[in-house]
Chains A and B, each alone.
Chain A
Amino acid sequence: MHELAVTQSILDIALRHATQASAKKITSINIVIGEFASIVDDSVQFYWDLLADDTIAKGAQLCFERIAGEMTCTNCQHAFHPKDIDFACPNCGSQFVQITKGDEFRVDSIDVE
């Protein structure tokens, strides 16, 4: 798993923006993770406690907003959560569906003092 590299990126982003805002302390970091991004929150938190230790982000709270995967039927516009056995629309049975949510992987904001 690559949570270490990912955690380092989150920290870099947070510190850069905090410096730009002349902040003294980062209190929380708001992260959005889609279902298809395959990242484990707990491991990020674990690495965070190690990496952020001697930075102004020490002790900051990591808030994860999980976005469920979503598919939308191009036939009837029904939106549904995909099952890994089949990608057919549960409403009309159509096979013509598109992924509309779940790729997200970003830092949305930080709270600073």
Chain B
Amino acid sequence: MTIRVPIVENILNANDHLAEQNRGRIDSAGVFSINIMASPGAGKTSLIEQTLPRLKDKLRVAVVDGDIATSIDADRAANAGAQAAIQVNTGGDCHLDAVMLRGALEQLDLTQFDLLIVENVGNLVCPASFKLGTHKSILIASIPEGDDKPYKYPGMYRGVDALVINKIDLLPYVPFKMDYFKHGVEVLNPGVLTFPLSAKTGEGMDAWVDWLIGQVKAM
């Protein structure tokens, strides 16, 4: 005899549960944490490189870098002044998940830091589904990617707490209708905090860095 067992359980429950444990660990050390997501080449590492020197002598920062295979990004973060830079190779996976972040956290004495920055794998789809346990999710959109990305990748734009619009120095050179872009963002994520900036020229970096410092102080 066949019987139906009702379940109604989110498929990513196990990951979400581990993410909560990560959060507990981060919280109890009093650290503020962010998960930076973006397509490949949007400027995740560049933003981290620009941010670190501006936090020098103010905040102690640990960076966890998710990458499919190399340690290039973690090395860049270390050179830019991160007090700790941990590389997590996902071995082909398209995203970091809570288990991978847990592994990285085990290598850190979190009490020695004020801010934890996680750079996710470059991908505009998969990282959105896997919570890590960080306090805020940040999406970097970059001008050369085009203004239609919110419409094509709604899942990513929906879930984030702040949006960095990077490479604004390229606005004069590439077609990018800011109104069209912002409309898509507004529908998917009404009122989301937005930081237009250039990780190349440094324009707009102050607002971003001030926000980060404010978040750390509010912990």
Contact = CB atoms under 8 A, between A and B. Distances in A.
Per DSSP, chain A at the interface is mixed
Of the four ranges (under 10, 10 to 19, 20 to 34, 35 or more), the interface on chain A belongs to: 35 or more
B152 A84 contact: yes
Contacts of A107: 7-9, 11
Given A85-B148, A97-B187, A106-B10, A1 B126 contact: yes
Interface in B44-68: none
Contact of B2 (A1, A9, A106, A112): A112
Interface string B74-106: 000000000000000000011101000000000
A9 B152 contact: no
Contacts of B12: 6, 9, 105
B158 A111 contact: no
A22 to B, nearest CB: 10
A108 B151 contact: no
B151 A86 contact: yes
Contacts of B39: none
Interface residues of B, number: 33
A1 to B, nearest CB: 6
B144 interface: no
B6 interface: yes
Interface of A: 1-2, 5-6, 9-10, 12-14, 17-18, 21, 23, 27, 31, 36-38, 69, 71, 82, 84-87, 95, 97-99, 103, 105-113
